[in-house]
Chain A
Amino acid sequence: KQEVTQIPAALSVPEGENLVLNCSFTDSAIYNLQWFRQDPGKGLTSLLLIQSSQREQTSGRLNASLDKSSGRSTLYIAASQPGDSATYLCAVKEIKAAGNKLTFGGGTRVLVKP
């Protein structure tokens, strides 16, 4: 059974520092991996989607890498801002999963201090 883990569960950094968020998964037979952002009491917003054939994806200050063989993905957020404070979740789409089922990690709660 696929398990997705995000460590640490919480992270606090001063404004301007780069953020590094980690995601690991146990079964490398995936279609893609996705990073989401969730503000308190809100739904999820998709940040980046990396297909299994890709090594990384970039959007503005965000860069996500994928190492499928080792079961790891890392989300980098450059020059963090207080507005980046949120919970970040990663999710994988398995090849053998029915429908478009995603398996989520528990999330990393980020606080960027001004």
Chain B
Amino acid sequence: DGGITQSPKYLFRKEGQNVTLSCEQNLNHDAMYWYRQDPGQGLRLIYYSQIVNDFQKGDIAEGYSVSREKKESFPLTVTSAQKNPTAFYLCASSRLAGGQETQYFGPGTRLLVL
């Protein structure tokens, strides 16, 4: 089955702790994205990557970090600098092809602060 997987489904973070959310895709897509969704709101872009070993900040990158060592993987780390991390995190991927390709989304990870 081709698609995007995210793990874990639920993640709990203690104060001052860094946590890493996993995102893997086997669609052979070049571009990958991380979004944050707060209750009753739309998605906001955290980081995106169009090629291995390169990534760009989105609208709300502060307190987050990413890496893109492999085409298939784009993990997101929520650092202790992110003061309000409780949210639903969605990963997506797409082909580039002039930027008119649809994005495919994973099932999401819900992050809660203890």
Q: Is the interface of A mostly helix, strand, loop or mixed?
A: strand
Q: Are A44 and B110 in contact (CB under 8 A)?
A: no
Among B50, B90, B96, which residue has its beta carbon within 8 angstroms of that of A44?
B90
The contact string, 1 if C-beta is below 8 Å from chain B, for chain A 1-13, is 0001010010000
The A69-114 residues at the B interface (CB cut-off 8 A) are 89, 91, 93, 98-102, 104-107
Residues on B with beta carbons closer than 8 Å to the beta carbon of A106: 40-42
CB-defined contacts of B105 to chain A, threshold 8 Å: 36, 43-45
Q: How far is the CA of A49 from the CA of B106 in the complex (A)?
A: 19
For residue A4, which residues in chain B have a CB less than 8 angstroms away from its CB?
42
Separation in Å of the A54 CB from the closest CB of chain B?
12
Contact A46 B102 (CB under 8 A): yes
Q: How large is the interface on B (under 10, 10 to 19, 20 to 34, 35 or more residues)?
A: 20 to 34
The answer to whether A34 has its CB under 8 Å from any CB of chain B is: yes
Q: Are A100 and B42 also in contact (CB < 8 A) when A44-B105, A51-B100, A93-B100 are?
A: no
Interface residues of B in 81-105 (CB under 8 A from A): 88, 90, 92, 94, 96, 99-105
The reply to whether the CB of B48 lies closer than 8 angstroms to some CB of chain A is: yes
Name A38-58 residues within 8 Å CB distance of B: 41-46, 49, 51
- A49 contacts across to B, CB distance below 8 A: 102
A6 — which chain B residues lie within 8 A by C-beta?
A: 42
Are B101 and A100 in touch, CB under 8 angstroms?
yes
Contact of B104 among A41, A46, A91, A107 (CB under 8 A): A46
Chain A residues within 8 Å of B, Cβ to Cβ: 4, 6, 9, 31-32, 34, 36, 41-46, 49, 51, 89, 91, 93, 98-102, 104-107
> Besides the contacts A44-B105, A99-B56, A100-B50, what 11 more A-B pairs have beta carbons closer than 8 Å?
A43-B90, A44-B43, A45-B105, A99-B31, A99-B48, A100-B33, A100-B96, A100-B99, A100-B101, A104-B43, A104-B44
A-B contact pairs, 14 of them (CB 8 A): A31-B99, A34-B102, A41-B110, A43-B4, A43-B90, A51-B100, A91-B42, A93-B100, A100-B48, A100-B94, A102-B43, A102-B103, A105-B42, A107-B40
